[in-house]
Structure formats: structure tokens, C-alpha cells
Amino acid sequence: MATKINPRKTAGRLVLDTFKEHRAFSEKTAQPAEICKDLPLSSNVIAYTITNMMADNILIRTEDNRFYYSEENWNKFQTKFNRVYWVIIGIPVVVFIVLYAIQALGLLKFLD
């Protein structure tokens, strides 16, 4: 049964979902990259996406050039990504609170 492609899905999500649908979860069940050929992506985008996922060991290449998805490595990547995201959001918030507290104490006159 063919599934509808969600136009909002990223290239990474499309590629990962394809490997999941083909149950490529181990070296024994690994699949060739050609399973992505029917995705609405150019072959360059597919190759770039697979290469990026290999860099983080989300997709792992076997000796015979097949690939499988590592849920464990995906979870590690998400944790790392979320940590960076919260640092990027958190630093400006902390700076704002500190400056506001300094102003409230009357130590900074230029913010008045």
C-alpha cells in the first residue's frame, strides 16, 4: 500500500521514513540507497541527505554498500540537537534577565 507523501516533510524525514518502512534496522536487513528513488527529491538531495546522516551514524553503511537506520544514534542526535537549541534560546533570555535585574537595582542608567 502506497503512502501519501506529506509535502511538509524534510528530505531527512523522507529518507529515514523510507528506511523504516523497509525495516532496515540492522546489517542483516540493510537496504540499498535505491529504495529512495521514488521520493520526490533529486538524486543529489538524496545523496547529500544520506551522507549527512552517515556522518552522525544515523544511517550506517554496510560493507556491501547497503544502509540501515540506527534508532539509538538518532536518539543521541536528537538529544545533542535539542541541547544546542536550548543553549541558543537560553543565553539571550539569561542576558535579558541579568540586565533587567541590574537596571532594577539602579546600577545601569543607560537603560532608563
Domain ranges of the chain: 11-69, 79-112
* HEC readout, the chain: CCCCCCCCCCHHHHHHHHHHHCCCCCCCCCECHHHHCCCCCCHHHHHHHHHHHHHCCCEEECCCCCEEECHHHHHHHHHHHHHHHHHHHHHHHHHHHHHHHHHHCCCCCCCC
Is the model's pLDDT at 15 over the cut of 60?
yes
CATH code: domain 11-69 is: 1.10.10
Is the model's pLDDT at 5 over the cut of 50?
yes
pTM, two decimals, is: 0.66
Span 27-58, pLDDT tens digits = 999 999 999 998 998 999 999 999 999 999 99
Computed over every residue of the chain, the mean pLDDT equals: 87
Is the model's pLDDT at 108 over the cut of 80?
no
